[in-house]
């Protein structure tokens, strides 16, 4: 029987040295300590905390859908200056240009003027009046029908409506209002054949248009927030006589970069001196329709002047220079509010400026005189923070007052101005 042997479990006294087997061409990665980013407190009463609160609010608004974005922008109610679209304040147009960063350009854009290159040989041989009434896309027979339509509307309001003495300060509403409404609806129906977008358009009667924005800042003079800076807030609540909305956006009148060299009046006085008054109520941004409405782009607004606006009276008071000032101020306020609300409906706001111009048109009348205006919104970044290095400016084109007709004698319209009819047709024919 074989004997069992015990194997020694002793380690040898001499072991090979333990060496680091690291490769020679590699280096040890230096691990930097990872610390969390130091940010200001959201609840502290400090300037840094206030800056962080504003940044978080801006990020929240930028990442929200349109309807929620409008709610967040208009949520906080502070006292704001109420800008009236129709005001008799002297030189109000310069103040309104400063509030809205709008430059005024006399005349209309080039697309509303008939150049000599558009005239044919037959038009050159015809009388000047006939050549002047030719419009692109509309032949002479169609223009004659439109001219007769305007004549019928004038005669209808002059003869075939039983009129009584209007209520006090409601003459424009009761006398000129039906005339303008019939004129707009008749022209829109007649021109739908030549402008297919008018078939899908929406005609609003006496809509409500609102716009809220910030421009400039002030130091709070008294109260528990005394000494702090706050933005100057503005609100426009407008109600045009009627307006036309389209499903497609109109083309720009001029490139956006062309507004860099425009001149905007600078008013250094407080808005109280215009005068404007501060009120506190719901902030509103509204185009006359809700956000899901497919007809979300504006084409033309029609406004009636108030009963207090009398050219003869202003001439007797030696205020003839304020006749056109009133109309320009009305156009600036109304078109800026309407066009700015359209841009807001597309998701643009103070910290997300427009990437494309927005365009609208307006016609202001008292039944006899018509004024035509075109507005191009190039920026909505009007606050102190976003307007520091913003060269963009909004643009307004406008005409002087043009008389539609002289009078009505023996059942006929005397002195019908074809230029006014032509501009009405061109405004309604404007399309992308």
| Whole-number percent of the chain with pLDDT over 90 | 70
In three-state secondary structure terms, 74 is coil
Per-residue pLDDT averaged across 180-192, rounded? 95
Q: Is pTM beyond 0.75 here?
A: yes
Q: Quick check: 128 pLDDT over 70? A: no
Sheet holding 278-279, edge to edge: 209-219, 229-238, 80-83, 278-279
Per-residue pLDDT averaged across 412-425, rounded? 93
Q: 430 or 157: which carries more pLDDT confidence? A: 430
Q: 190 or 121: which carries more pLDDT confidence? A: 190
- The mean predicted confidence, pLDDT, of the chain is 88
Q: 320 or 165: which carries more pLDDT confidence? A: 320
Among 46-50, 132-136, 309-313, name the one with the lowest average pLDDT: 132-136
| 86-101 residue pLDDT tens | 999 999 999 999 999 9
| 219-272 residue pLDDT tens | 999 999 899 899 999 999 999 999 999 999 999 999 999 999 999 999 999 999
Q: Quick check: 129 pLDDT over 70? A: no
> What was the pLDDT predicted at 113?
75
Per-residue pLDDT averaged across 289-300, rounded? 94
The phi, psi pair for 402, rounded to 5°, reads -120, 130
Residues 45, 282: Cα–Cα separation, whole Å: 28
Query: Would you state the torsion angle of the CA atoms of residues 386, 391, 392, 396, taken in this order, to the nearest 10 degrees?
Result: 120
| 208-231 residue pLDDT tens | 999 999 999 999 999 998 998 999
At residue 137 the predicted structure's pLDDT band, cuts being 50, 70 and 90, is confident
At residue 9 the predicted structure's pLDDT band, cuts being 50, 70 and 90, is low
| 295-305 residue pLDDT tens | 999 999 999 99
Q: Quick check: 294 pLDDT over 80? A: yes
> What was the pLDDT predicted at 193?
92
Q: Quick check: 11 pLDDT over 90? A: no
Which residue has tokens 């078939």? 199
Residue 403: how many CB atoms within 10 A of its CB?
13
> What was the pLDDT predicted at 125?
35
Query: Do the beta carbons of residue 247 and residue 294 sit within 8 Å?
Result: yes
At residue 366 the predicted structure's pLDDT band, cuts being 50, 70 and 90, is very high
């Amino acid at each position: 029987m074989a004997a069992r042997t015990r194997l020694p479990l002793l380690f040898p006294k001499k072991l090979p040295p333990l060496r680091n087997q690291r490769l020679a061409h590699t280096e040890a990665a230096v691990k930097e300590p990872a610390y969390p980013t130091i940010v200001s407190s959201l609840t502290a009463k400090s300037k840094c905390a206030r800056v962080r609160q504003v940044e978080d609010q801006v990020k929240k608004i930028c990442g929200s859908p349109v309807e929620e974005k409008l709610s967040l922008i208009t949520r906080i109610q502070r006292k704001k200056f109420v800008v009236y679209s129709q005001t008799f304040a002297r030189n109000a147009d310069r103040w309104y240009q400063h509030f809205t960063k709008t430059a005024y350009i006399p005349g209309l854009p080039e697309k509303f003027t008939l150049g000599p290159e558009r005239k044919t040989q037959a038009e050159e041989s015809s009388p000047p009046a006939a050549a002047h009434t030719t419009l692109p896309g509309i032949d002479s027979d169609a223009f004659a029908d439109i001219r007769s339509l305007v004549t019928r509307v004038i005669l209808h309001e002059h003869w075939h409506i039983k009129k009584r003495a209007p209520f006090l300060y409601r003459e424009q509403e009761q006398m000129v209002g039906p005339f303008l409404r019939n004129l707009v609806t008749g022209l829109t129906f007649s021109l739908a054949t030549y402008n297919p977008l008018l078939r899908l358009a929406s005609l609003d009667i006496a809509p409500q248009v609102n716009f809220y924005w910030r421009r400039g800042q002030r130091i709070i003079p008294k109260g528990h927030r005394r000494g702090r800076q706050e933005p100057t807030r503005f609100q426009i609540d407008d109600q045009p006589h009627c307006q036309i909305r389209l499903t497609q956006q109109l083309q720009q009148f001029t490139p956006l970069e062309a507004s860099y060299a425009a001149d905007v009046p600078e008013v250094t006085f407080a808005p109280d001196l215009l005068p404007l008054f501060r009120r506190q109520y719901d902030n509103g941004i509204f185009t006359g329709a809700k956000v899901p409405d497919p007809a979300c782009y504006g084409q033309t607004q029609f406004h009636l002047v108030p009963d207090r606006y009398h050219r003869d009276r202003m001439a007797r008071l030696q205020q003839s220079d304020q006749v056109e000032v009133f109309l320009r101020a009305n156009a600036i306020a109304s078109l800026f509010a309407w066009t700015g609300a359209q841009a807001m409906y597309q998701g643009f706001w103070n910290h997300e400026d427009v990437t494309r111009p927005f365009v609208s048109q307006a016609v202001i009348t008292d039944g006899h005189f018509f004024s035509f205006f075109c507005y191009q919104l190039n920026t909505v970044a009007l606050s102190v923070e976003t307007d520091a290095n913003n060269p963009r400016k909004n643009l307004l084109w406008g005409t002087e007052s043009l008389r539609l007709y002289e009078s009505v004698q023996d059942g006929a319209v005397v002195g019908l101005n074809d230029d006014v009819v032509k501009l009405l047709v061109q405004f309604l024919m404007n399309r992308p």
